Amino acid sequence: MGKFGREIAGPNVDRIIEKLNKAFADEWLAYYQYWVGAKIVKGRMHPNVEEELEEHAKEELEHAEELAKLIVQLGGKPLLSPDEWFKEANCKYNKPDNPDTKAILKQNIEGEQCAIKVYKELLEYLGKEGDHVSAHEIIDILEDEVEHEEDLENLLEDIEGE
Ligand SMILES: [Fe+2]
Ligand SMILES: [Fe+2]
Ligand SMILES: [Fe+2]
């Protein structure tokens, strides 16, 4: 992004970068939670759950990628060390102690609900700042998170209805 491109992000571009970095931290933790969950999950319908977790892991990583690009475009730097992910994340990491499909799904549904809340607030903030370029990216990510929650809820319903 050029000088004027950055300027139209508004006067609080540093604050925007900070918030984008916090979301970036969330995405890495969500990625790992799905990734490791897919490795250990067992119980009812576990092949279906494993497949969905793997797909969501891939999508969370894509979100991290998109956020990193945006941060760099705005003149910032994505968090450079994984220990910052825990410090900066908005949503907590839900360690999958229980490998049962239902337990894993419930943890990830919680994670998605947190992500939806974070992105909704971020979108409102970006709207106030007039940063429409970042807002556009965030809308795309928010759409994915809404879909993720629904996918997991449907799987949980299927398992509970069996
Ligand atoms: Fe995400
Ligand atoms: Fe998600
Ligand atoms: Fe999905």
Section 80-92 average pLDDT: 97
**Ligand 1 centroid to residue 20 C-alpha, Å:** 12
All domains of the chain, ordered by start, with CATH? 3-161 (1.20.1260.10)
Distance from the alpha carbon of residue 52 to the mean position of ligand 3, in angstroms = 5
Cβ 90 vs Cβ 33: under 8 Å: no
Is the CB of residue 8 less than 8 Å from the CB of residue 130? Answer: yes
Span 11-70, pLDDT tens digits? 799 999 999 999 999 999 999 999 999 999 999 999 999 999 999 999 999 999 999 999
Question: Residue for token digits 């050029």?
Answer: 2
Whole-angstrom Cα distance, residue 99 to residue 45? Answer: 13
Question: What's the pTM value of the predicted model, to 2 decimals?
Answer: 0.95
Around ion ligand 3, residues with a beta carbon closer than 5 Å are 151
Q: Quote the CA–CA distance of 116 and 129 in Å, as a whole number.
A: 20
Closest CA relative to residue 68, chosen from 56, 85, 86, 87:
85
pLDDT tier at 8, thresholds 50, 70, 90? confident
